[in-house]
Structure 1
Amino acid sequence: MPSFVTKPNNRQLAFDNDRLEIYADRILDGLHTLSKERLLRGVTAKLRNDIVTGEEISNAFTMSSLELVTKDEPDWKFAAARSLLTSLYKKAAVNRRYKSYPEEPYGSFYHLITELCQAGIYREELLECYTKEQIEELGQLIDPTRDLLFDYIGLLTLAERYLATDFDGRTMELPQERYMVIAMYLMHQEPADKRLDYVKEAYWAMSNIYMTAATPTMSNAGKKVAGQLSSCFIDTVDDSLEGIFDSNTDVARLSKMGGGIGVYLGKVRARGSDIRGHKNTSSGVIPWIRQLNNTAVSVDQLGTRKGAIAVYLDVFHKDILAFLDLKLNNGDERMRAHDVFHGVCLPDLFMEAVEARSEWNLFCPHEVKKTMGWKDENGRPLGLEDFYDKEVGSGEFRSKYEEAVNHPTLSRITMPAIDIMKRIMKSQLETGTPYMFYRDTVNRANPNRAHGMIYSSNLCTEIMQNQSPTVVEQEELVTKDGQTRIVISKIPGDFVVCNLNSIHLARAVPAGVLDRLVPIQTRMLDNVIDINNIEVLQAQYTNSQYRAIGLGTFGLHHLLALEGIRWESEEAVKYNDDLYEKINYLLIKSSMELAQEKGQYPKFAGSDWENGNYFTYRNYTDGTREGKFVTTKQWRELAEQVSKNGVRNAWMFAIAPNGSTSIIAGSTASIDPLYDLLSYEEKTTYKIANPAPDLSEKTIWYYKTAFLIDQHWSIDMAGARQRHVDQAQSFNLYVRPDIKATDFLDLHLHAWKAGLKSTYYVRSRALTIEECESCAS
């Protein structure tokens, strides 16, 4: 055993074995099934030097607890978290110069705010918008006992990625202070007489882990850093040299700020098309995708990771075959782009052709516009990508497609649709992508279809909002006050922005707090729009015109296990239908009430929200599909209120992957089934066991893991949810590498017929997939 302990101020004290016992009692308090004797044996075995530090003792408790984590004793992960907490408390106390006590581990909140504002780490608004008395009042509300909700991996993730440090990387901010600072910053523009109440409510929601903010908000809110608060962006590239390079520049600027990017390239002319009448001169979309690939690698996200970019192309584009091979590991490397992700946009007609084993035709969008002569009401040329089927089985897209097929001079490539689908599935099994985007389903359900078209999705396939390219109108030399400048005039397109946070279903639903929780989440998301400063002006403008938000959920499998509902059951499908209907009702109601208070979004007029089509399309008001938690009468009343008062947000519901934040919350990710009963986080020198959340003799029977689950049940649940989600879901398919082609195709056909708007990764145990951190809300 050691003889001495060195304290942070370099004082040496005699080693006291009784203090180990006291420390063990403290971190095991309430964890009644865990053995103190086993823990102490592990600790003493690690303390072999004659002189040890307090940090080494804390680490010995942490590591000894982690070594004891098993499926049978999962609570050791909470003991490890408490030991890590003690270490964080001590570091913060030393760095901020206060005395930390077990009963009062936090120091002065006001002192933290003033010190970090003066140091340039926190934003000045925290002191400008709140008085000393108000900050001290908020500091009194900080509840250290809520730190005990974290398990070890959750707390470690929070500490390493999100808590504010000084410029030397020293611990300054503690977990509950991060939540309070986020709440203060998101509410700082609220009216002064209500501001503190909203801060307290937001802190209640976050500190109880009833919800999580998205990674950019969690990391950047209240901090004076270069990053912004939005998660993802989607650009639509104009078919011009200026449009292509301007888009690449905008992507670079947003990636630098930490955003994940989706790029729709369906308007760019195909390989072999003409340029200004010169035949066979276009190189197609692949070289431009390779440029985006280089941008993703060279313009990293806040210096921490390479950029994350997804590119989308229509399945009727002439370059689709080369596009599908982008990420394969064989073939011509000049036609590969390994660092971007890709998604394919699929009309109903293509899926019908796949099922019928009939032919499919590929066109160049530039040639279609030039040859077919289709125009919008403003005389602008239209391509196939600008139409969709407004009814299942009939509509403008299929009629325009037939016109194009039958045109005598329009060039095309004809091949069996199933051959394209085989290429899609081959790439998915090898690389996990392309994502699937069902464009007719998306646009039929778009509540803002009167104002535009949705061509593609984002990096995580859950954001679906109106898109259009930004077009360079003119460049001119202007002389004013003796200064000559080049002035570039652009017509801004709809450049999509997504602002995310998510409900922790396994905590919020059993606690019965959804009615209180959803309104404050909606306000937090709406405030991000006004606070955020986005460098790309068309994105800022689009954000202000639509005020789109994306409230999501995670912990679905965790919740089902707690409720004793099997994943593969009609009960689970019905439960999803009812639960997500309730969340949607509360979300729309909250947005309507915000519209009463602050005004409706500028493009509300003409929307399906205003004319009521949003509600009738989903059978909310006709009495044919009444749910368990919301009556038809309630829906009718809400539809009337929305028509009268408007809603604050054009789109509201989007279910993101929740990778990082679900780890912090100690729950299952997003709408995914559990990956393993006991998974492992690998660090440099050791592996951390991570049992399923709330694993017990009761819940283990409801935790059937992802690769053992019949994926058709997952699709049925996603289909039930999709009716209530005005955007989409980051929905993964889990398959074995040896899945039969017919079975794999059946999954895709089922997803399309079930009304899913998109599917995300195809996950196989043979694949390692690196997800977008920004989008992992």
Structure 2
Amino acid sequence: MFTTTHTVHTVLKPNNRSLAFDADRIMKYAERIMEDFPHLNREKWLRGVLSKLRQSTVQAAEITQACIMTSLELITREEPDWKFVAARSLLTKLYKEAAIHRNYKAYPDKPYGDFYKLIRALVDLGVYREELLEAYTEDHIRELGAAIEPNCDELFDYIGLLTLSERYLAADFEARTMELPQERYMVIAMYLMHKEPANRRVQLAKEAYWAMSNLYMTAATPTMANAGKKVAGQLSSCFIDTVDDSLEGIFDSNTDVARLSKMGGGIGVYLGKIRARGSDIRGHKNTSSGVIPWIRQLNNTAVSVDQLGTRKGAIAVYLDVFHKDILSFLDLKLNNGDERMRAHDIFHGICIPDLFMEAVESREDWHLFCPHEVKKTMGWTDSNGRSLGLEDFYDEEFGQGLFREKYKEAVMNPLLTRITLPAIDIMKRVLKSQLETGTPYMFYKDSANRMNPNKAHGVIFCSNLCTEIMQNQSPTVVEQEQLVTQDGQTRIVISKVPGDFVVCNLNSIHLARAVRADVLDRLVPIQVRMLDNVIDINNIEVLQAQYTNQRYRAIGLGSFGLHHLLALEGIPWESDMAVAYNDNLYERISYLAIKSSMELAKEKGAYSLFEGSDWETGRYFEQRSYTTYDRKGEFVTTEQWQELAELVRKNGMRNAWLMAVAPNSSTSIIAGSTASIDPVYELLSYEEKTSYKIANPAPDLSDKTLWYYKTAFRLDQHWSIKMAAARQRHLDQGQSFNLYVRPDIRAVDFLALHIHAWRAGLKSTYYVRSQALTVEECEACSS
């Protein structure tokens, strides 16, 4: 028996009972929560706990908090497992709170209460949605409750469980804990499957629960937070609007952005069609104020319309590098200069054709045009007679295509005004801004459009807030506004032609768990179904977004934990082995995702614009050398790809786009892994809380993995680009790919990274992260 001195005599329980303090009971508790960690020193832990209990009478909750804090204090690089001990103490706290608030007795071997009673009570209270009781009978819910695995709670480390409990678990209107972690996962599963056929609904919900509860995957933040709850939030992560060059279009877009931001979405806004500063308006010369005032208006929207009352909105604006306002656009976030031309709360990205990068390399001049003047002067039209600008074209092949032809036509037209300057001067402004602010993001438009499986139906102008979503876009246009009187009632009726307003629904594979458990074949189909179901369940206020979502049924299956997986597999980041591993792994995931979407199309029907797509023609598979014998994969044979391509042609695809790798900052923390495709930032980082810091070691940190966890700023970024390029071939959309640079990086080396990324076929780069710079992640894309 371990003995120590202490001052505590009495413990007060929540039910007003008092007990004599017994240190041996705490030691028995330690044996239970540390059962899986025999190498940790329990006596040292107990001394730490008792040292925090300084009164003769303490509350039971104070003992639990002392257990948590002591465990956190003991976390080091050498003993990272204390983070799991801290998590199990936090679980004790959550179990006790839920039992008190829901009026049941929690036991160590049975910490969860009656699941049906929870659903019934929270539906009656207005916390859960009625659909949970309408779609599932009491017997169904009790069967699902019996499938809950409390032991899965022990997979969480402390920061993961804390994040889940503080931000995602359902509480009542007095902010009291009601829902426990596995119940959150089961409610998400039930809600996402509640429109499935009655004879399969329960089994599919169990399958979705299996995927989430084992941390083989995570849902995106909007789905994690809102699924099954009767709240104002929605389930989709990302939206992209294309602003029409009209006063109505600009103000309508701002309203739409505000409505989506209020619901928790991350927004991208393409402004490349808006006329430049000094352009004419209805023939009046030099009257346009350009894009900057409208960006400042969006900045105000981001600040004033917060996301579900918790944080300011997150909006990214994009502009073409050939737009006349690009120079002032690049200075948007700088801390010096004219504040009337700044927008510090907005994020910005530039849309870059191959031709510009070629001009940078060869140190040639570059010309900037006003999109309104280009349309008016050049007279380009599409098959429907609509005016086209430079932004409507891209190069179909590397080094040749329509954009460079049209650009040269514009340059040769003497009637078209322009600003001319060396391309490298623009690039210098880009690099300066990136080192100071982390942005602008780089969107390589030609690469994105060349690899677009739906290029027959539109053009991709830009990406989203996190640079991983790439889908067809077009502006919504106000057609007419008229007074209409009917049955004695007069109404103002506004008619609009809906554009392609991009929506994307995200979730992500936990690579370090799912790959090593060899469950991808089972996991990916249920993930694709979950994402597809979000489309039918979600109710988006902005009607053109709802319309686009139904037409294309786009989803974004992503991944996180790449560095975690490489470390466990003993693969150095800076190696050809890592590049090949990325190539083969993401080919396998792509194959499974396409097969799953094809199977859903057989079951439920293809998306409405499948005909004419690269999926139907087979070009998608040829372009990536899947069916041509040019490149053989380790996990998928050419013959398997050929068979799948034929099945896709025959049965269709349920989803127009399938894969996008988001930043995963929050949900990768919940799963206890490395974020997205990023390298680990530090071997031991710290999460700041109000009164203390929480040490957070790299996942599965040990003497073995230590050698494979080379940290982000020590890595050669060219190896990161090589791995990203290997992945990019298999992603029909994009990836949130960060560059990590030192503040003293030479300009020539910094430029070389961008040239490499572009030439390697990356569709975008996200933040440039410097050790001297802190940037905010997008919460909505945290899948």
Aligned residue in 1 for 2:116: 110
Mapping for residues 404-443 of structure 1, pairs under 5 Å: 404-443=410-449
Q: Alignment partner of 1:511: what SS?
A: coil
Aligned residue in 1 for 2:321: 315
Aligned residue in 1 for 2:4: none
Q: Deviations over 1:516-566 (max 9, x none)?
A: 000000000000000000000000000000000000000000000000000
Give 1:76 shift: 0.3
Find the aligned partners of 1:608 and 1:155 in 2 and give their Cα distance. 43
Mapping for residues 128-143 of structure 1, pairs under 5 Å: 128-143=134-149
Give 1:640 shift: 0.2
Unaligned stretches of 5+ residues in structure 2: 1-6
Q: Deviations over 1:569-623 (max 9, x none)?
A: 0000000000000000000000000000000000101000000000000000000
Q: Alignment partner of 2:96: what SS?
A: helix
Mapping for residues 9-408 of structure 1, pairs under 5 Å: 9-408=15-414
Give 1:21 shift: 1.2
Find the aligned partners of 1:153 and 1:404 in 2 and give their Cα distance. 55
Find the aligned partners of 1:349 and 1:627 in 2 and give their Cα distance. 32
Q: Deviations over 1:363-407 (max 9, x none)?
A: 000000000000000101000000000011000000000000000
Aligned residue in 2 for 1:573: 579
Aligned residue in 2 for 1:736: 742
Q: Alignment partner of 2:772: what SS?
A: coil
Aligned residue in 1 for 2:490: 484
Letter in 1 for 2:704: K
Find the aligned partners of 2:460 and 2:637 in 1 and give their Cα distance. 31
Aligned residue in 1 for 2:561: 555
Give 1:742 shift: 0.1
Letter in 2 for 1:652: L
Find the aligned partners of 2:483 and 2:475 in 1 and give their Cα distance. 25
Mapping for residues 3-14 of structure 1, pairs under 5 Å: 3-14=9-20
Q: Alignment partner of 2:629: what SS?
A: coil
Find the aligned partners of 2:590 and 2:392 in 1 and give their Cα distance. 29
Letter in 2 for 1:470: T
Q: Alignment partner of 2:516: what SS?
A: helix
Give 1:10 shift: 1.6
- Corresponding residue to 1:524 among 524, 530, 541: 530
Aligned residue in 1 for 2:588: 582
Give 1:12 shift: 1.3
Q: Alignment partner of 2:601: what SS?
A: helix
Letter in 1 for 2:233: G
Aligned residue in 2 for 1:770: 776
Aligned residue in 1 for 2:657: 651
Q: Alignment partner of 2:264: what SS?
A: coil
Give 1:340 shift: 0.4
- Corresponding residue to 1:470 among 467, 472, 476: 476
Letter in 2 for 1:452: G
- Corresponding residue to 1:607 among 591, 613, 634: 613
Give 1:775 shift: 1.3
Find the aligned partners of 1:111 and 1:3 in 2 and give their Cα distance. 38
Q: Deviations over 1:703-728 (max 9, x none)?
A: 00000000000000000000000000
Give 1:203 shift: 0.4
- Corresponding residue to 1:688 among 680, 694, 707: 694
- Corresponding residue to 2:521 among 506, 510, 515: 515
Find the aligned partners of 1:337 and 1:685 in 2 and give their Cα distance. 32
Find the aligned partners of 1:38 and 1:755 in 2 and give their Cα distance. 54
Q: Deviations over 1:463-500 (max 9, x none)?
A: 00000000000001000110000000000000000100
Find the aligned partners of 1:709 and 1:190 in 2 and give their Cα distance. 47
Aligned residue in 1 for 2:636: 630
Find the aligned partners of 1:287 and 1:682 in 2 and give their Cα distance. 36
Q: Deviations over 1:211-258 (max 9, x none)?
A: 000000000000000000000100000000000000000000000000
Aligned residue in 1 for 2:604: 598
Q: Deviations over 1:311-342 (max 9, x none)?
A: 00000000000000000000000000000000
Does 1:663 find its partner at 2:669? yes
Letter in 2 for 1:72: E
Aligned residue in 1 for 2:724: 718
Find the aligned partners of 2:548 and 2:774 in 1 and give their Cα distance. 35
Find the aligned partners of 2:38 and 2:502 in 1 and give their Cα distance. 50
Aligned residue in 1 for 2:547: 541
Matched-pair identity in %? 78
Does 1:499 find its partner at 2:508? no
Mapping for residues 447-458 of structure 1, pairs under 5 Å: 447-458=453-464
Find the aligned partners of 2:36 and 2:689 in 1 and give their Cα distance. 29
Aligned residue in 2 for 1:699: 705
Question: After TM superposition, which residue ranges in structure 1, 4 or more long, deviate above 3 angstroms?
Answer: none
Give 1:17 shift: 1.9
Find the aligned partners of 1:483 and 1:49 in 2 and give their Cα distance. 73
Give 1:50 shift: 1.0
Give 1:418 shift: 0.1
Find the aligned partners of 1:285 and 1:632 in 2 and give their Cα distance. 49
Find the aligned partners of 1:144 and 1:86 in 2 and give their Cα distance. 12
Between 709-718 and 6-15, report the one with greater CA deviation.
Answer: 6-15
- Corresponding residue to 1:745 among 751, 766, 778: 751
Find the aligned partners of 1:339 and 1:408 in 2 and give their Cα distance. 39
Find the aligned partners of 1:772 and 1:333 in 2 and give their Cα distance. 25
Tell me the number of residue pairs that the alignment of Structure 1 and Structure 2 aligns.
777
In the superposition, the TM-score normalised over structure 2's length comes to: 0.99
Give 1:74 shift: 0.3
Q: Alignment partner of 1:13: what SS?
A: strand
Find the aligned partners of 1:21 and 1:546 in 2 and give their Cα distance. 58
Give 1:433 shift: 0.2
Find the aligned partners of 1:35 and 1:15 in 2 and give their Cα distance. 22
Find the aligned partners of 2:9 and 2:581 in 1 and give their Cα distance. 60
Aligned residue in 1 for 2:3: none
Unaligned stretches of 5+ residues in structure 1: none
Find the aligned partners of 1:178 and 1:114 in 2 and give their Cα distance. 15
Does 1:616 find its partner at 2:609? no
Find the aligned partners of 1:37 and 1:667 in 2 and give their Cα distance. 29
In the superposition, the TM-score normalised over structure 1's length comes to: 1.00
Letter in 2 for 1:552: G
Find the aligned partners of 1:321 and 1:775 in 2 and give their Cα distance. 29
Aligned residues: CA RMSD: 0.4
Letter in 1 for 2:757: A
